[in-house]
Amino acid sequence: MTKKHKKIALIQMSCGVDTQENLDKAADRVREAARAGANVICLPELFRAQYFCQREEHALFDTAESIPGPSTDRLGAIAKEEGVVVIASLFERRAAGLYHNTAAVLESDGSLAGKYRKMHIPDDPLYYEKFYFTPGDLGFQAQKTSQGNIGTLVCWDQWYPEAARVTALKGAETLFYPTAIGWHPSEKAEFGEAQYSAWQTMQRAHAISNGVFVGAVNRVGHEYGDVQHDGILMKGPEGAGLEFWGGSFIADPFGRVIAQASHDKEEILIAEIDLKLLEDTRRNWPFLRDRRIDAYQGITSRYLD
């Protein structure tokens, strides 16, 4: 395998109640992916817990951790042992009362290559993230790693072409999207197929318009937001919970899906990517060349009345 070729892996997993058990599972899956030949491995959003943002509860801030911290230490050791790059989405405690939804990039020597703090924070029924997370202040970025230039964006960022564009302009060859997205059970029959299709289509469009590979990794399973941390169980809200739709996928620079996971099973999704294809695609579809950067001033306005 030349330097232009590498394998990327997405860890589609279910998340249980206990935060330590989730970290143990993630560590095992990362090692399994590495031994299957993956060079870059991405975990789903906030994999250490069930999706707790289904309600607002102050005690859940106790599940946050520093970066570097316990999760990056554990996964960084595996990254070093296996010689791989790992992307880990974590609930970051930056200071007392200040928390972020953060993706840490761990280099193949175990060090912290960088981190990205989620910029777009949603607030919808059962997705009450504004209660927990301060919007990111590190900007959009591409991390230079031993496995190429990696852009990390997180979940709700998926819907914003500006985020993908700026990250690509900073040199990202692959955009990774750690994700926790699912169906409200009462809506699945009527809207489920369309919701998943929109989610995938949007990210395939990012691949096309920027000429990059895209890896979107989701969790699976029906969750009620129960979380056990340091022996303390915090029950989620009463109700139907969320059914996370899985469907993790990898798309090439022309938006073709080259690997896709199921909607209901844990899987390690691996695909080989050829960075020469990125070069060839951009030469034939030179969207970056033909951008009218002199005419986009209004893009930084909230709305043009």
Q: Are 101 and 67 in contact (CB under 8 A)?
A: no
Active site residue 188: no
- The residue whose two tokens read 């209004």 is 298
Task: Count CB neighbours of 185 within 10 A.
Answer: 14
Q: Are 269 and 250 in contact (CB under 8 A)?
A: yes
Is the CA virtual torsion 64, 68, 69, 71 positive or negative? positive
- Among the listed residues 42, 45, 53, 92, the single catalytic one is 45
- Among the listed residues 82, 155, 223, 243, the single catalytic one is 155
Active site residue 42: no
- Among the listed residues 118, 129, 223, 243, the single catalytic one is 118
Active site residue 118: yes
Helix/strand/coil (H, E, C) string of the chain?
Answer: CCCCEEEEEEEECCCCCEHHHHHHHHHHHHHHHHHCCCCEEECCCCCCCCCHHHCCCHHHHHHCECCCCHHHHHHHHHHHHHCCEEEEEEEEEEECCEEEEEEEEECCCCCEEEEEECCCCCEECCEEHHHCCCCCCCCCCEEEECCEEEEECCHHHHHCHHHHHHHHHCCCCEEEEECCCEECHHHHHHHHHHHHHHHHHHHHHHHHHHCCEEEEECCEEEECCCEEECCEEECCCCCCCEEEECCCEEECCCCCEEEECCCCCCEEEEEEEEHHHHHHHHHHCCCCCCCCCCCCHHHHCCCCC
- Beta-sheet pairing, 249-251 with 267-274: unpaired
Tell me the catalytic residues: 45, 118, 155
